[in-house]
Amino acid sequence: MAALNPGKPTEPRSKRLSIQVVTWNVASAAPPLDLSDLLQLNKDNLNLDMYVIGLQEMNCGIMSLLSDTAFEDPWSSFFMDVLSPLSFVKGNKGGVNICMKLYGYYISIINCHLPPHMANNDQRLEHFDRILEMQNFEEQDIPNILDHDLILWFGDMNFRIEDFGLHFVRESIKNRCYSDLWEKDQLSIAKRHDPLLRQFQEGPLLFPPTYKFDKNSNNYDTSEKKRKPAWTDRILWRLKRQPQANPNQRLPVPHFCLSLRSYVSHMMYCISDHKPVTSTFDLELKPLVSVPPITLMPEGLWTMENDMLISYSLTPDFLSSPWDWIGLYKVGLRHINDYVSYVWVGDNQVSFSNGLIQVYFNTRDIPETEDQFLLCYYSNNLHSVVGISKPFKIQPSSFLAEDPLSEAQPHI
């Protein structure tokens, strides 16, 4: 093995992440029984690292609001039931914007529902600009949304097809001549003239318009109104412009690029007057940070009968809070509040030396189970999880008596 040159820092290896974006106006309908096609779960080799799911027109009646307060809306619950066994973790279920930091890069995820009807195109463009202007973040170190490295913007944008009559549009769809309709698509027209919207990219519209269908069918609107079909459901993205490499610059320009793998609609779902649309992206990046803010390490062999130790280290620039806590979770958690138990790190700290902090964790009230567990460190300042341990098992009380000579190591 060749020796490393200490005078030449090694560059971080590129990472490749696959992201599935879903947008669907569900028109107040309940979830269907099977979403395998929508989530690509029917594929033999599921090559996905992240799901981003945005829904519009979820049932907002008074009974639904009351049930959501006590439980969860059925759509969020359904997606979590399907995805949590695959180790996908819930992020947020209805916000306009989610901001996250990924390996040092800022990413914004925006789910929108813009004003409807053909004549309201100016309102749609106005709302588009207003959504960007209103995205102010409380944390001072988060940059303006337009300075984020990536914006994923999707939803029922309600852009329509101008000028062409209903018969021409339907005949073009029937003959799969979608390109005949692109020039009159309101979003495509706006992208040619609006400087801000022009910065957003979109895949080719090679699928039929996704609105408006008779419910429980693949027939376009046969009601008295006979609304003209349109691509109302869209997925856009915007990459921050990368600075050009300086020939005199020693360090490489950070590498961050997004490529579109697919952009499709899913005609098999008929519960709504809209068809769902998905995009699959490959995100390739060189990490700007090489270590997580918090590194968690369960110490020794965890059993049900003793208080156990957790060791963790933090980076020098991480600002801890007295309200930070560490939660114990079963693998496959759906929400940050799904902890089995937790400790306040400030109240349970027992030692600090050489950058390593130790806290006690009480396991005696945890029910015995064969499930695997993991630890998550929650930062009150960042309002998010900043450290996750490797999975491990908590042994039953009789384990030590049966095997007293076993090595005192976590069962990972």
| One-letter-per-residue 3-state SS of 285-342 | ECCCCCCCCEEEEECCCCECCCCEEEEEEECCCCCCCCCCEEEEEECCCCCCCCCCEE
**What angle (nearest 5°) sits at the alpha carbon of residue 61, between those of residues 56 and 65?**
90
Split at pLDDT 50, 70, 90, the class of 12 is low
**Residues 248 and 380 grouped into a single domain:** no
Contact criterion met (CB below 8 Å) for 257 and 239: yes
Task: Please state which of the ranges 205-219, 329-343, 360-374, 376-390 shows the lowest mean pLDDT.
Answer: 360-374
The answer to whether residue 401 is domain-embedded is no
The answer to whether residue 1 is domain-embedded is no
**Residues 146 and 226 grouped into a single domain:** yes
Which residues are CB-contacts of 353 (< 8 A; sequence separation ≥ 6)? none
**What's the number of domains the chain is made of?**
2
**Residues 281 and 301 grouped into a single domain:** no
The answer to whether residue 80 is domain-embedded is yes
Contact criterion met (CB below 8 Å) for 187 and 209: no
**Residues 370 and 266 grouped into a single domain:** no
% of the chain beyond a pLDDT of 90: 51
In terms of residue numbers, what domain contains 319?
A: 294-393
The answer to whether residue 146 is domain-embedded is yes
pLDDT score, position 406: 42
Split at pLDDT 50, 70, 90, the class of 281 is very high
Q: Is the pLDDT of residue 248 over 70?
A: no
**Bridge partners, 130 (sequence order):** none
Contact criterion met (CB below 8 Å) for 46 and 40: yes
φ, ψ for residue 393, nearest 5 deg: -115, 150
**Residues 275 and 187 grouped into a single domain:** yes
Task: Retrieve residue 141's tokens.
Answer: 């170190």
**Helix %, strand %, coil % for the chain, to 5?**
20, 30, 50
Gap between the Cα atoms of 262 and 259, Å rounded: 9
Contact criterion met (CB below 8 Å) for 188 and 180: no
Centre a 10 Å sphere on the Cβ of residue 395 and count the other Cβ atoms it contains. Answer: 20
Contact criterion met (CB below 8 Å) for 364 and 383: no
**Residues 133 and 275 grouped into a single domain:** yes
**Residues 363 and 215 grouped into a single domain:** no
Q: Is the pLDDT of residue 323 over 70?
A: yes
Closest C-alpha among 131, 134, 133 to residue 112:
131
Q: Is the pLDDT of residue 226 over 60?
A: yes
Q: Is the pLDDT of residue 249 over 90?
A: no
**Residues 186 and 49 grouped into a single domain:** yes
pLDDT score, position 86: 65
Q: Is the pLDDT of residue 179 over 80?
A: yes
**Residues 238 and 340 grouped into a single domain:** no
Task: Please state which of the ranges 125-129, 153-157, 163-167, 245-249 shows the lowest mean pLDDT.
Answer: 245-249
User: Within 13 Å of residue 139, how many CA atoms lie on the same side as its CB?
Assistant: 13
Split at pLDDT 50, 70, 90, the class of 139 is low
CATH number at residue 307: 2.60.40.2840
CATH number at residue 218: 3.60.10.10
Q: Is the pLDDT of residue 8 over 70?
A: no
**Residues 298 and 278 grouped into a single domain:** no
Average per-residue pLDDT in the chain?
A: 83
pLDDT score, position 66: 47
Contact criterion met (CB below 8 Å) for 156 and 23: yes
Contact criterion met (CB below 8 Å) for 363 and 348: no
Helix (H) or strand (E) holding 113: strand 105-113
**Residues 259 and 159 grouped into a single domain:** yes
